[in-house]
Amino acid sequence: MTDTDIQYAGPQRVLSGVQPSGALHLGNYLGALVKFARLQHEIDTFIFVADMHAITVWQEPAQLAAQTREIAAAYLAAGLDPAKATIFPQSAVPEHAELAWIFNCVARLGWLDKMTQFKEKSGKHKERSSVGLYTYPVLQAADILVYKATAVPVGEDQKQHLELARNIAQKFNHDFAAPGCFPLPEPLIQGPGARIMSLRDGSAKMSKSDPSDLSRINLTDDADTIASKIRKARSDADVLPETMEGLEGRAEARNLVGIYAALAGETSEAVLAKFAGQGFGAFKPELADLAVASLAPVSDAMRRYLADPAEIDRILAAGAAKAREAAAPTVAEAKKLVGFWGT
Ligand code: TRP
């Protein structure tokens, strides 16, 4: 038996996070938050606000803490329960940064050079990007591995970062002759049906950085705004088909059907069975009603939490204390393996 045959034998654990760098939209809600809330009933779940990742690009200091509370409020509004899941701000758990430094010395430049998200975010002038933006995926590996998380619910765009986390875990385990130390975390990718695209372009993901606000439904949009964005959403002149094959080449139609399905908790096939033969003139008002009815309670709950920031802060502080308890032994173990003084 070689050391690579020995596998991590610890408990299964889920971890994920969202950056506090802009308003949350329907894609975040259906693709991430709802999923987190479901997972907390099945498995030990850690969900954090990635404020250390947010500052890899400029964040207004006067707003950062409020943005962090806003993500926390959205978590709570989506049903995350602090009695079940550990909910905390990344910067309140210094163990993330400590492990990230060790991992910076494990990861190779050649691995980071391949990261497509850095290439996209740094654009034409990479020499003007922060060093933090470059080493961002190493901090992400530390976020995950400091809790020895085994599964990470993320979008497709984060698959490469998860692969890097596995490479770091494997190299650390190998270099320090501790084969069972870190698990090799797997991405939990949302099903194709739950991939929410822009309302203006069915081939682009719904995104907070899209310059057109009409492209997305924000969690804070009121009923009239939601209805009007759906009315103006791009669609086509055909009727809805009976089967998914009939949506081939109709990206916008497929997206609107997918959004209906995700909100209703049904499959796209079931939605088509209900609406086959009808055009968007009939389908859009139904979708608008469903979206308003599903999101109104979430944005109401978010507003209620945000009206009591002290309560959010209590929840985040308690979550951070729990998170530190889970993270500290991992950092102690890693420091000892590295051979640091006093460990
Ligand atoms: N990079 C993730 C995103 O932009 C956010 C993130 C940071 C994250 N650390 C993480 C997600 C750890 C999952 C696990 O969506």
Q: What is the pLDDT of residue 122?
A: 93
Q: What is the pLDDT of residue 208?
A: 87
DSSP string over 171-235 = HHHHHTT-TTSS---EEEEPPGGG-PBPSS-TTSB--TT-S-GGG--BTT--HHHHHHHHHHS--
Q: What is the CATH number of domain 213-304?
A: 1.10.240.10
Instruction: Lay out the sheet containing 13-18: strands in order across.
Output: 86-89, 44-49, 13-18, 151-154, 186-189
Q: What is the pLDDT of residue 191?
A: 62
What tokens were used for 272? 């088509």
What tokens were used for 329? 């032994």
Which of 14, 15, 16 has most ligand 1 atoms within 8 Å of CB, for mutation?
A: 16
User: Which residue, chain included where needed, has tokens 């894609």?
Assistant: 27
Q: Do residues 41 and 79 make contact, with C-beta atoms less than 8 angstroms apart? A: no
Torsional sign, CA 267, 219, 288, 237: negative
Domain ranges of the chain: 3-195+309-338, 213-304
What CATH class has 3-195+309-338? Answer: alpha beta
The closest residue, in CA terms, to atom 15 on ligand 1 is 18
Is 153's C-beta closer than 6 angstroms to any atom of ligand 1?
no
Averaged over successive runs of 10 residues, the pLDDT of the chain (343 residues) comes to 70 97 91 94 98 97 97 97 98 98 98 96 93 98 98 94 98 97 93 78 91 94 93 96 94 95 93 96 96 93 96 98 98 98 95
> How does 126-135 read in b/e, with b if 16+ C-beta sit within 10 Å?
eeebeeebbb
Is 15's C-beta closer than 6 angstroms to any atom of ligand 1?
yes
* Those residues with Cβ within 8 angstroms of residue 300's Cβ, 6 or more apart along the chain or in another chain: none
Is 152's C-beta closer than 6 angstroms to any atom of ligand 1?
yes
The closest residue, in CA terms, to atom 7 on ligand 1 is 140
Model confidence, pTM: 0.93
Which ligand 1 atom is nearest residue 50's CA? 7
According to DSSP, residue 240 is labeled: P
Q: What is the pLDDT of residue 64?
A: 98
Is 54's C-beta closer than 6 angstroms to any atom of ligand 1?
no
The closest residue, in CA terms, to atom 6 on ligand 1 is 17
Q: Do domains 3-195+309-338 and 213-304 have the same CATH topology?
A: no
